[in-house]
């Protein structure tokens, strides 16, 4: 999805149309009726795109002129959900970093809706207070790679309006196992995990973001669901 240089030729009439008419044309040409899935294959860091309903010559409009390109990419990147599909061979943070580098800062600024896996937490012995992560002065319950991914979103994707997180069997252990214990220390563990995630999102520009947690492993315990909702997150079943 890298934007290449455009030719100087323009379509005969499109640049002369009112902006709202042009935006409607951009939506009809560029917006597909499903999320855009991003992934890498094997050990390669090349970002691949899965979009089965994209038409032939889907992005041809972007190459008609620089003016059209600069307007149309706002629709392309701002009107789609971008889903990061991490695999056993690639981390989500590495995939996100490759994607942001590929589309370049001007287009990163157009991103509005991104979907990630719920940041995996580490299940630790709650009596061990010596654990620290990176330059943090206190203990962190998030995996280092997950924290790096959240900070990429925080620092680079400041135009986001919606962050969607998928909670499933592979990444739920640090939250659900902790919540399954007795009241007290284990509950504080879960609260710290969620508070860390929320703090990173709240640092993304002025806070007008919608955070959605989609459940792909069955219902949460009432305690965890209430904790998430206390941060203003919307908890929904997987679709």
Interval 88-123: pLDDT, tens:
556 889 999 999 999 999 999 999 999 999 988 775
Does residue 102 lie within any of the structural domains?
no
Distance CA 76, CA 32 (A): 9
Give domain status of residue 106, yes or no.
no
Looking at the structure, do residues 117 and 170 belong to the same domain, yes or no?
yes
Residue 190 lies in a domain: yes
Q: In this structure, is residue 82 part of a structural domain?
A: yes
Question: How far, rounded to the nearest angstrom, does the alpha carbon of residue 62 sit from its chain's CA centroid?
Answer: 24
Residue 207 forms part of a structural domain: yes
pTM over 0.75: yes
CA distance 152 to 146: 10
Of 30 and 90, the structure prediction assigns the larger pLDDT to 30
User: Of the residues 57, 90, 123, which one is the last residue of a structural domain?
Assistant: 90
Tell me which residue range forms the domain holding 55: 1-90
173 pLDDT exceeds 50? yes
Q: Are residues 126 and 238 in the same domain?
A: yes
d(CA 151, CA 103): 18
Q: Does residue 124 share a domain with residue 177?
A: yes
Q: What is the reported pLDDT for 140?
A: 64
Q: What tokens appear for 176 in the block?
A: 């659900």
Q: How many domains does the chain have?
A: 2
Do 79 and 120 lie in a common domain?
Answer: no
Q: Are residues 129 and 208 in the same domain?
A: yes
pLDDT at position 42 over 80: no
**Per-residue DSSP letter, 157:** -
Sign of the Cα torsion 97, 103, 108, 111 reads negative
Return the axis-axis angle of helices 66-78 and 19-30, rounded to nearest 10°.
60
Residues 73 and 125 in one domain: no
Q: Identify whether residues 86 and 121 lie together within a single domain.
A: no
The phi and psi torsions of 234 (rounded to 5 degrees) equal: -100, 125
Residue 101 counted as domain residue: no
Task: Read off the pLDDT band of 131 (50, 70, 90).
Answer: very low
Nearest to 167 by CA among 200, 201, 194: 194
* Confidence label for 67 from pLDDT (cuts 50, 70 and 90): confident
In a domain, 26, yes or no: yes
116 and 86 within one domain: no
Q: Give the per-residue pLDDT at 174.
A: 62
In a domain, 107, yes or no: no
Instruction: Note the pLDDT of residue 208.
Output: 74
Percentage with pLDDT > 70 across the chain: 79
């Amino acid at each position: 999805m890298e934007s290449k240089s455009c030719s100087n030729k323009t379509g005969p009439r499109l640049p002369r149309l009112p902006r709202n008419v042009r935006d409607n044309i951009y939506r009809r040409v560029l917006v597909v009726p499903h999320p855009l899935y991003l992934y890498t294959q094997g050990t390669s860091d090349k970002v691949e795109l899965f979009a089965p309903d994209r038409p032939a010559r889907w992005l041809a409009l972007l190459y008609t002129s620089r003016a059209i390109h600069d307007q149309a990419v706002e629709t392309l990147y701002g009107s789609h959900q971008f889903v990061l599909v991490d695999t056993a061979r690639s981390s989500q943070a590495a995939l996100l970093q490759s994607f942001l580098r590929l589309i370049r800062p001007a287009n990163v600024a157009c991103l509005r809706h991104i979907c990630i896996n719920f940041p995996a937490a580490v299940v630790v012995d709650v009596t061990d207070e010596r654990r620290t992560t990176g330059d943090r002065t206190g203990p962190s319950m998030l995996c280092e790679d997950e924290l790096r991914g959240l900070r990429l979103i925080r620092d680079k994707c400041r135009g986001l309006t919606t962050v969607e997180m998928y909670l499933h069997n592979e990444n739920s252990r640090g939250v659900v196992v902790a919540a399954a214990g007795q009241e007290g220390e284990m509950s504080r563990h879960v609260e710290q995990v969620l508070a860390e995630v929320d703090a990173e999102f709240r640092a993304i520009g002025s806070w007008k973001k919608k955070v959605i947690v989609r459940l792909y492993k069955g219902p949460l315990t009432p305690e965890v669901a209430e904790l998430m909702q206390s941060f203003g997150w919307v908890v929904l079943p997987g679709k």
